[in-house]
Amino acid sequence: MSILPIVVIPDPILREPSKPVERVDDSLRKFADNMLETMYDAPGVGLAAIQVAEPIRMLTVDVSEKEEERQPQVFINPKIVQVSDTPNVYEEGCLSIPDVYAEIERPAEVTVEYLDLSGEQKTIKADGLLATVLQHEIDHLDGKLFIDYLSKLKREMVIRKFKKLAKQRAI
């Protein structure tokens, strides 16, 4: 397994919609292992393939507590099929937007259809942190970032900061 480089804003790939996975095979499973290793190393609770410059509809998640045994999950071609009317607010961060956190309101519960690593169709009903992480990561697959839920002023401040950092790194 290997740790993959994580793409950060303002890289335009983060705004591209990801393409559906055509086939679940050994190379995809190996890539999922690398994504999980990258996510744990970061450390994060979720990672979309686009965040490691692979524009496919796949994400990894593990919302287990630090002292618990790891519970990695891989979602291939995930699709939100139902959301609750009840809102929930979590402070979100993102591995592609380091050191930026904001309270974001999303539906408290979601139902997601996806393929597992065996290529089997699955459905999961999630609430709490898992619901938030799934929505956050599926947004990535659609080219949407959590800062898009902020006011225009706050979002532009974050983007300006990262554009400035990117210019400094290029020098």
Q: Exposed, middle or buried by CB within 10 Å (0-12, 13-18, 19+), for 70?
A: exposed
| pLDDT digit string, tens, across residues 40-75 | 999 999 999 999 999 999 999 999 988 899 999 999
pLDDT, residue 76, reads: 98
CATH fold of 12-170: Peptide Deformylase (3.90.45)
Q: What is the pTM of this model?
A: 0.95
Domain ranges of the chain: 12-170
pLDDT, residue 7, reads: 97
Active site positions, annotated: 137
The one-letter amino acid at 65:
E
3-state class of 12 per DSSP? helix
Q: Exposed, middle or buried by CB within 10 Å (0-12, 13-18, 19+), for 18?
A: buried
